Amino acid sequence: MTSERSGDYYALSCALVCALGNIPAKVALENITPELFQLYFFGFGFLMSAVYLVRPKARQEVFATTSKAFLLILILSLLFSFAIYTFISSLKLIEPATVSFLSRFEVLVTVVFAFIFLKERLRPIEIIGGIITIGGLIILKFKTNMVISQAATLMILSSFFFATAEIIIKKYINLVGTIRFIFWRNFFMIFIFYGILVYHNQPLSLPDNKTLFIIAIASFLLPVMGRLTYIEALKRIKVSRAALITQSMPLFTAIFALLILGTYPTPIEWLGGGLIILGVVVIKFKVEKIKNANKLT
């Protein structure tokens, strides 16, 4: 199997596990606050990532972290904290499939940031795709109810934080590493979200066993498997190609939400979400097609 093909599989796996992970996260958020959820969410994530340390190679990677890598992962942890906090807050407000639609706005932000910081060329077709994507976002922001509008605002903020983090990871992928990043990021997240909990004057309470179990499932799927598969994809393929493949996430989320929760987006949410996905596919698919044509000439 070629490196690109395996990278495609990793990106598709990321879309699947993240789509599935949104479902237990939504269920758990019915019973607790986003702040408390995320404290336990990353607590479980850290414990699960620590399991990797039984492997000598993983231990060597984690404990051989340089001061530069340590500082970079700390900065990334702060960015991801804001990104995930706004994402989870949005997920608490509305159903998972619509949140997943809104999260695709991150791809447009990533393309723009790649143009600014990584000097990747911005083609006219990408601008057209961006306009379509923004059109879908405007529908969800201004043509739906107040709750969805509020969730859209949170997801816009989340997209900017996620895109910034992804560009940094792509640029310093070898320094950050995979296991090293997952382990230390989850470790930092515990303290960051405990600080957020204190800031909001919320008590550190223990959820019931069922809620804890559901959070543990979400932790395994999202910050552990989701991040691992995406980083492995970025090692093998370009960030633009990985972003294209993960556009299947909203569809998977809608299917899982329908089968497990019995919820699905309204027609206007499908319209806005569909335009977002269409815009992103136009951005990425056409650019990849142009690149492939250039290789043959």
Least confident of 153-157, 214-218, 232-236, 269-273: 232-236
How high is the pLDDT of residue 295? 45
Rounded mean pLDDT, 40-59? 89
Average pLDDT, the chain: 87
Q: What is the pLDDT of residues 65-100, one digit of tens each?
A: 899 999 999 999 999 999 999 999 999 999 999 999
* pLDDT confidence band for 167 (50 / 70 / 90): confident
Q: Does pLDDT of 273 surpass 80?
A: yes
Rounded mean pLDDT, 135-146? 90
Per the model's pLDDT, the better-predicted residue between 51 and 118 turns out to be 51
HEC secondary structure over the chain = CCHHHHHHHHHHHHHHHHHHHHHHHHHHCCCCCHHHHHHHHHHHHHHHHHHHHHCHHHHHHHHCCCHHHHHHHHHHHHHHHHHHHHHHHHHHHCCHHHHHHHHCHHHHHHHHHHHHHCCCCCCHHHHHHHHHHHHHHHHHHHCCCHHHHHHHHHHHHHHHHHHHHHHHHHHCHHHHCCHHHHHHHHHHHHHHHHHHHHHCCCCCCCCCHHHHHHHHHHHHHHHHHHHHHHHHHHHHCCHHHHHHHHHHHHHHHHHHHHHHHCCCCCHHHHHHHHHHHHHHHHHHHHHHHHHHHHHHC
Rounded mean pLDDT, 15-34? 93
